[in-house]
Structure 1
Amino acid sequence: MRQWWDMKCQHFDCVLFFKVGKFYELYHMDAVIGFNELNLMYMKGDHAHSGFPEIAYGRFSSSLIEKGYKVARVEQTETPDMMANRCKNSEL
């Protein structure tokens, strides 16, 4: 979530498509836009959250752009091994 908020603060005028594994996820106010404009369903959790498989990125991003939204795509560059190492080091 911290990474998402860091990016959102820098690009508040964009809907962030945040890559997680093989999915793009939308959080908080972006999830609300996904729900209202793209008919995405909310996922379970403590905050507004929705997502879709990566193959649908073109369709969903084009739809929002046609409706006047700015879209930003945030790709995942960290591998599972890198994440495990980062988490292990943060516990020290």
Structure 2
Amino acid sequence: MMMTENDVAKVFDTILSIPGMNETVKIDLKISRKNVLLLNSIIERGSASDDESKSIFLSSIPVESLKELKLLGDECLQKAGLNDLYEKLKIFNESGK
């Protein structure tokens, strides 16, 4: 049986609504600066509202959750001292399109 996009969105919404899913967890994470840049790029690309290639899952994520993920990416950049480099890479990337 094939699930419709609406069915898939309902399943993801149900998973995100499971009790405890909004609880804050502390994660001790050691990650290379390279992977911080990649993680932040993935978060930005996945949360871009104009990306038509988004999966059903990403399309069904609440805006508030996307904002939280963006803040996480920004915090990782800041802690790794990569804010300036990332902004310059974004400008470089946009000029190459």
Larger Rg: 2
Q: RCO greater where, 1 or 2, for CA within 8 Å and sep 6 or more?
A: 2
Q: TM-score range by the shorter chain?
A: under 0.3
The structure with the largest helix share of the pair is 2
TM-score by length of 1: 0.24
TM-score by length of 2: 0.24
